[in-house]
Amino acid sequence: MNRELLRKLPKVDEVLLREDINELIEAHGRAIVVDSLREGIEFYRNKILKDEINSFEKEEVINYSLGIITKKSKPRLKRVINGAGIVIHTNLGRSLLSKEAVESMAMVSESYNNLEYDIEKGARGSRYSHIEDLLKKITGAEGAVVVNNNAAAVMLALNTLCEEKEAIVSRGQLVEIGGSFRVPEVMKFSKAKLVEVGTTNRTHLYDYEDNISENTGVLLKVHTSNFKIMGFTEEVPLEDMVSLGEKYNVPVVDDLGSGVLVDLSKYGFIYEPTVQESVRKGADVVTFSGDKMLGGPQAGIIVGKKEYIDRIKKNQLTRALRIDKMRIAALEATLRTYLDEKEAVKKVPTLSMMLLSTEELKKRAQRLKRKLKDAPNHLEVKISEDYSMVGGGSMPTETMDTVVLKIKSTKLSLVQIENYLRAYEIPIIVRVGKGEVIIDVRTLLEKDYDIIGEAFKGIGEE
């Protein structure tokens, strides 16, 4: 029986003679079509050998292969809808860019530009000149340089100031950044020698001072932005570390991580140290991310005193870690909004999403519920209160009151609903909890509502 079924499988060469297949070759290329046909035929061959099917039609195999062609011809990196309510969602690309940032990226991508050309002088220029003055003005620092991400920024700063020397850091600040990237490992690659002081929950100024020697390169402070130690704790204030560094002529590097440029406590959030505060308190070098609380593109931003920034710029690693024209364009456009805080909280999506009012969230939830009016009767949809999270390793204990749609079905399990939404043409990412699928409207975009409405029309259909 198996042999008969195997002989019945279509041959690739024969299928390639079909007119509709040749049209697909014209549209998607021969390689994708041939690979997909082979994959489809192989799928059915394995089913036959495992006795999982006892009959089929050739057209079934070809149609299955056509589905593979469709899948292979689409980009792997695609748009998704974030209904999870996590504003800086690391798995979903972190911070969204502002309209101005996107337009700036498009402009430099489709045309030549002055990336490293000084138009006034008619000579070669620096790519960092487009954003250094902005960063200096916003943060109050004497100089600035930008690299690929914050891990690179920390590594570059330490390699420049502390190669083959000791970097003193509190044990309670040896964090894992994410994806198994850890501060001690980053330090190792920088060729700085780690000196741990204090304990996990308590570190005192004397712990730093007792370990300063002629081989000390920097005092390193790492903001534990992705976790909190509660209870019997103590850490040394930055200004005290700066005073100690000045006493022994040792520079202080402050790794802020998230890169907050707006004091969010005035908007009802817990206080997070800002870059401006770190600079004002005298840190010699401050590092932070571009795509977390700042709300820009992926970048590692280094600001600080001119003597140290100049040394970092001359480090040969700077070229290897530099960012490209598109991210410089997006970062410049994002930073320009921070020249006016009112503009920043309105135009930077990360900030505007975090600061949405309860009234606005209720309106959005009601609008989304109306979009689901044509959903099948087996679905129960209700508006409810819940909470959102900042995400991105920022403000780990902070939640935001929000308004959500909670959905359950008399026909489908929660897993089936979640799988259907995630597999939709434009994947819809949701939360699942307490017997309900949850869609948080805080992180939905204007263009998402109609898509979600269409998706729910077909949910549970055979």
Whole-angstrom distance, CA of residue 459 vs CA of residue 128? 50
Looking at the structure, do residues 389 and 257 belong to the same domain, yes or no?
no
Q: What confidence tens digit (pLDDT) does each residue in 373-401 have?
A: 999 999 999 999 999 999 877 776 678 99
Q: What confidence tens digit (pLDDT) does each residue in 146-162 have?
A: 999 998 999 999 999 99
Looking at the structure, do residues 332 and 373 belong to the same domain, yes or no?
no
Q: Is the pLDDT of residue 1 over 90?
A: no
Whole-angstrom distance, CA of residue 134 vs CA of residue 145? 11
Does 236 fall in a domain?
yes
What's the pLDDT at 223?
Answer: 82
Looking at the structure, do residues 274 and 294 belong to the same domain, yes or no?
yes
Q: Is the pLDDT of residue 325 over 70?
A: yes
What separation in angstroms does the CA of 271 have from each of 241, 250, 265, 361? 20, 28, 5, 24
Looking at the structure, do residues 86 and 215 belong to the same domain, yes or no?
no
Least confident of 184-198, 217-231, 302-316, 407-421: 217-231
CATH of the domain at 417: 3.90.1150.180
Q: Is the pLDDT of residue 135 over 70?
A: yes
Q: Which tokens hold the place of 292?
A: 């977390």
Out of 319, 347, 375, a domain closes at 347
What's the pLDDT at 231?
Answer: 64
Question: Any idea what the Cα angle at residue 316 is, between residues 310 and 320, rounded to 5°?
Answer: 115
Whole-angstrom distance, CA of residue 242 vs CA of residue 263? 22
413 three-state secondary structure? coil
Looking at the structure, do residues 168 and 278 belong to the same domain, yes or no?
yes
Question: Any idea what the Cα angle at residue 94 is, between residues 92 and 100, rounded to 5°?
Answer: 115
What's the pLDDT at 230?
Answer: 64
Looking at the structure, do residues 67 and 85 belong to the same domain, yes or no?
no
Q: What is the mean pLDDT of residues 402-416?
A: 95
Looking at the structure, do residues 295 and 362 belong to the same domain, yes or no?
no
Does 462 fall in a domain?
no
Kind of pairing between the strands at 123-124 and 143-147: unpaired
Q: Which residue has the tokens 């290897």?
A: 320
Looking at the structure, do residues 34 and 86 belong to the same domain, yes or no?
no
Q: What's the domain range around 62? A: 2-72
Looking at the structure, do residues 12 and 132 belong to the same domain, yes or no?
no
Looking at the structure, do residues 288 and 397 belong to the same domain, yes or no?
no
What's the pLDDT at 165?
Answer: 94
What's the pLDDT at 441?
Answer: 98
Does 302 fall in a domain?
yes
Q: What is the mean pLDDT of residues 166-179?
A: 78
Q: Is the pLDDT of residue 229 over 80?
A: no
20 burial class (0-12, 13-18, 19+ CB within 10 angstroms)?
A: exposed
Q: Is the pLDDT of residue 178 over 70?
A: no
pTM exceeding 0.75: yes
Looking at the structure, do residues 25 and 56 belong to the same domain, yes or no?
yes
Out of 305, 322, 347, a domain closes at 347
CATH of the domain at 184: 3.40.640.10
| Band of pLDDT at residue 228, cut at 50, 70 and 90 | low
Does 337 fall in a domain?
yes
Q: What confidence tens digit (pLDDT) does each residue in 251-278 have?
A: 999 999 888 999 999 998 888 899 999 9
Please count the structural domains in the chain. Answer: 3
Q: What confidence tens digit (pLDDT) does each residue in 279-299 have?
A: 999 999 999 999 999 999 999
Looking at the structure, do residues 331 and 365 belong to the same domain, yes or no?
no
Contact 117, 354 (CB under 8 A): no
Out of 347, 375, 390, a domain closes at 347
